[in-house]
Homo-oligomer: A and B are copies of this chain.
Amino acid sequence: MTNIPYKIYLSESEMPKHWIDMRPFMKELPDPFIHPATLKPCTTENLAPVFCDELVKQELNTTEKYIDIPQGILDFYKMYRPSPVVRAYNLEKALGTPAKIYYKFEGNNTSGSHKLNSAAAQVYYAKQQGLTALTTETGAGQWGTALAMACAFYGIGLTVYMVKVSAQQKPHRKAVIETYGGKVIPSPSDTTEVGRKILAENPGTGGSLGCAISEAMEVALKTDNCRYVLGSVLNHVLLHQSIIGQETKAALDKYDIQPDVIIGCAGGGSNLGGLIAPFMAERLEGKNNIQFIAVEPASCPSLTRGKYAFDFGDTGKTTPLMRMYTLGCGFMPSANHAGGLRYHGMSPIVSKLYHDGYISARSVEQTKVFDAATLFARTEGTLPAPESSHAIKVAIDEALRCKETGEEQTILFGLTGTGYFDMTAYIAYNNGEMTDYIPTDADLQKGFDSLPKVEL
């Protein structure tokens, strides 16, 4: 018998007091954001009208390795953190693997995911700056819920533009946001110029994330003391999510556990970037040789089949240009794809690390992901989010590989959230009605055609 408990919790006094930024550890930095009009690197002045000042500072940071977490954010974190690192004893037993499987579980809060880590930070800084309102968009609703929770706590107004079809299909997610006091507007709406324009052109449209982003940004720019907030992709979001990795490393260090493989699902890259941060920092300093694996859906394969190019962050082409792995800002993931991870691009930091060979990537098919999710639920108890189950799938693959080779590897993966609001997808899977979709090269070419033609 080993003496590693099922769940490793840090005590409150052991909780990390700072985030870690991977950029100062990198031999070569990601390319800077480019202003689409001037084609010059974005400055603080370019970004300040959209994001609050402290977040702009964090976004452009390349030298500070550690950023102190303010007490006001630590007070919020203490309500739902530290999250546990769990030893998947029962999954190991079911697989018959000599591998040791651990997962960091971020789902034990009402938003149901890791998104709350950055929501808390972004709302805190907005409040500190004296802002009175925030706007954002939400698709599946995890980010909107997280932000509503943080806005209720810090006392700041929130308007969420929720993709209309999601608001209709997920009335319960909408209701959670409203219970926390957030105002939900199905998008496109008649509250913005861009919304009215889209409605006039497509009267019956169910909306899109790109449209919701455009509406939320328009309102933020036109409203006094208001800013826009975003839940993934950006550098400051990865910074806040490094709390996941910081806690994980502290918990594993207590028991002298060194992972051989770290696996995370990757949509915009914030969970993966946050989970690996302190381990990657050591890797970049030559202190470990951990294998990092990003897992993405075969239906939206930005790393495995995308291009490393300058692209817009949104479908409406209003953001700065970011060099990242992308399918093109015009890429539309298949409607049959369940859950999140449907972003056309990838965090510039994660993209650069992948480009330089520090991270590998795999794409997995939807039905295989739900096979893994179901096995996990039945053995480990927790019903996982479809997004998180991408990581579960590859963790199981690796554990089965160890079974063949006899390797006693230590596998760590990120369980980003729970699937309680994703039962429509589980029903489709349980009923045998779920299908897989892999875009053809021709499908992908349509997305690549939307890439901006930039000569730098």
Contact = CB atoms under 8 A, between A and B. Distances in A.
Interface of A: 5-7, 9, 11-13, 78-80, 90, 108-110, 112, 149, 152-153, 171-172, 175-176, 178-181, 374, 377-383, 418, 420-421, 423-424, 426-427, 430
Contacts of A178: 430
Nearest to A423: B172
Given A383-B110, A420-B420, A179 B374 contact: yes
Main secondary structure of the interface of A (DSSP, over half): helix
A110 B377 contact: yes
B427 A378 contact: no
A9 B423 CA distance: 31
A175 B427 CA distance: 6
Interface centre among A381, A383, A418, A430, by most B CB within 10 Å? Answer: A381
**This protein's copies in its complex:** 2
A427 B167 CA distance: 13
A378 B181 contact: yes
Nearest to A427: B175
A382 B111 CA distance: 9
A427 B172 CA distance: 8
Nearest to A384: B110
B382 A153 contact: no
A180 B426 CA distance: 11
B7 A176 contact: no
A185 B383 CA distance: 22
A383 to B, nearest CB: 5
B110 A382 contact: yes
Contacts of A109: 381-382
A221 B80 CA distance: 45
Contacts of A90: 79, 153
Contacts of A80: 381-382
B378 A171 contact: no
A152 B378 contact: yes
Nearest to A421: B420
Contacts of A374: 179
Nearest to A4: B12
Contacts of A6: 12, 78-79
A153 B383 CA distance: 13
